[in-house]
Amino acid sequence: MALGLGVARAADAAKSPDQLIKEVSTDVLDTIKADKTIQAGDVQKVIALVDAKVMPYVNFQRMTASAVGRYWRRPRPTSRSDCRRSSRSCWCAPTPARCRR
């Protein structure tokens, strides 16, 4: 997981990874608890929340390359880009279902 986290803001660079994850998680959960439309399963609002609060800290290229391993260098750059987009979809798609629990 550490490979997938990038530093989104200069102020966050001084925080420990545990502290950063706790703050981001708390912020996301507080937003979910306060927003009835997210609790009802509004997928677009969940995606917007994830894009705004979580994605600035995620490096999907690095995560995907790590998951694919040594084979990451073989495909053309366009194929790598497609793989990265698919990876992002897989990580983000289950989010609305988790919010309903």
Give pLDDT tens digits for 18-63.
999 999 999 999 999 999 999 888 888 888 898 899 888 888 788 8
Token readout for 54 is 């979580």
Dihedral sign, CA of 3, 5, 91, 18?
Answer: positive
Residue 77 lies in a domain: yes
**Residue-range definition of the domain harbouring residue 86:** 16-99
Token readout for 80 is 């790598």
Q: Which residues contact 26 (CB under 8 A, 6 or more apart)?
A: none
Residue 54 lies in a domain: yes
Model pLDDT for residues 56-89, shown as the tens digit of each residue? 888 878 888 888 888 888 878 888 788 777 776 6
Residue 9 lies in a domain: no
| 25, amino acid identity | S
> To the nearest 5 percent, what fractions of the chain are helix, strand and coil?
80, 0, 20
**What pLDDT, on the 0 to 100 scale, is given for residue 82?**
81
User: How many folded domains does the chain comprise?
Assistant: 1
The total number of residues written for the chain in this structure = 101
Over 60: is that where the pLDDT of 4 sits? Answer: no
Residue 8 lies in a domain: no
**What pLDDT, on the 0 to 100 scale, is given for residue 2?**
46
Over 60: is that where the pLDDT of 1 sits? Answer: no
Residue 3 lies in a domain: no
